[in-house]
């Protein structure tokens, strides 16, 4: 897989973006309680921009919400332990889900059928997935205990990115952004129990 060039001096730098609000110092939330929850307690949402439905991934499974019927379960190879779900907004039938014990799976028919997309992943514990903002076959995965992986071919193959990731490795969610200033195609936000971190997507 071809890698975008990255400036060495900037790789590995995560900027703590969680800043205090003004006024009195707010309480610092202790991460210990959250840390006990673990990967399986992650919850993610994805919005289908064409019909307004939602997908929700959590420890209990994968669910679809429609305003007319509420939540219904989406059948998938894994029945529990989901950490993340992302949808291609240009083609919402294409959905990726990640989780503990099964890695990452892909559906191209709105969740009717699924296939594993785990080639290159070091283990099957995916804590977070993010879809690139405009390169729809590029995704990022945070692999529990290892670091961040990238695919540029819709999950056919994954490669580890060189950066070790944020100081807090307990990543609960990833999001790609086209925020200006990146030396590559954008930035990645990582949500953790100690704040949200930002890094260029070439890390």
Partner 1 sequence: MPTNAVVRSVAVDPDRPERTYVAGPAGVFRSDDAGLTWEEADVALDGEPVALALDPFNPQTVFVVMTDGSLWKSVDGAAKWQLVWPAGGPAE
Which chain residues interact with partner 1 by CB under 8 A?
15, 17-22, 25-29, 31, 34, 42-47, 49, 52, 54, 56, 65, 67, 70-71, 89, 133, 172-173, 175-180, 186, 189-196, 198
Of 31 and 169, nearer to partner 1 (C-beta) is: 31
Shortest distance, position 197 Cβ to partner 1, whole Å: 9
Of 107 and 192, nearer to partner 1 (C-beta) is: 192
Shortest distance, position 72 Cβ to partner 1, whole Å: 12
Under a CB-based contact definition with an 8 Å cutoff, are residues 107 and 95 in contact?
A: yes
Of 42 and 107, nearer to partner 1 (C-beta) is: 42
Shortest distance, position 120 Cβ to partner 1, whole Å: 25
Of 8 and 180, nearer to partner 1 (C-beta) is: 180
Shortest distance, position 70 Cβ to partner 1, whole Å: 6
Task: Pick left, alpha or beta for residue 145 (phi over 0 → left; psi -120 to 50 → alpha; otherwise beta).
Answer: left
Give the count of beta carbons closer than 10 Å to the beta carbon of residue 113: 12
Half-sphere exposure of 54 toward its Cβ, with a 13 Å CA cutoff? 12
Of 51 and 112, nearer to partner 1 (C-beta) is: 51
With 0-12 CB in 10 A as exposed, 13-18 as middle and 19+ as buried, what is 36?
Answer: exposed
Shortest distance, position 119 Cβ to partner 1, whole Å: 27
Query: Does an H or E element contain 33, and which?
Result: helix 32-35
> Measured between alpha carbons, how far apart are the two ends of the chain, in Å?
15
Give the count of beta carbons closer than 10 Å to the beta carbon of residue 109: 10
Shortest distance, position 52 Cβ to partner 1, whole Å: 8
Of 14 and 118, nearer to partner 1 (C-beta) is: 14
Token pair 């670091």 is found at 147
Among residues 123, 132, 105, 117, which one has the least CA distance to residue 189? 132
With 0-12 CB in 10 A as exposed, 13-18 as middle and 19+ as buried, what is 21?
Answer: exposed
């Amino acid at each position: 897989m071809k890698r975008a060039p990255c400036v060495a001096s900037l790789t590995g730098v995560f900027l703590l973006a969680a800043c205090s609000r003004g006024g009195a110092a707010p309480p610092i939330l202790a991460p210990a309680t959250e840390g006990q929850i673990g990967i399986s307690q992650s919850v993610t949402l994805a919005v289908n921009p064409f019909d307004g439905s939602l997908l929700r991934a959590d420890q209990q499974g994968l669910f679809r919400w429609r305003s007319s019927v509420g939540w219904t379960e989406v059948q998938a190879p894994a029945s529990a332990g989901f950490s993340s779900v992302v949808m291609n907004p240009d083609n919402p039938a294409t959905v990726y889900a990640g989780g503990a014990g099964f890695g990452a799976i892909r559906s191209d028919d709105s969740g009717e059928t699924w296939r594993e997309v785990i080639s290159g992943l070091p283990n099957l514990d995916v804590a977070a997935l993010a879809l690139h903002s405009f390169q729809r076959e590029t995704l990022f995965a945070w692999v529990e205990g290892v670091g961040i992986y990238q695919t540029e071919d819709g999950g056919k193959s994954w490669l580890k990115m060189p950066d070790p990731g944020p100081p807090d490795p307990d990543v609960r969610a990833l999001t790609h952004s086209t925020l200006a200033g990146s030396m590559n195609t954008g930035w990645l936000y990582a949500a953790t129990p100690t704040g949200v971190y930002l890094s260029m997507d070439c890390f």
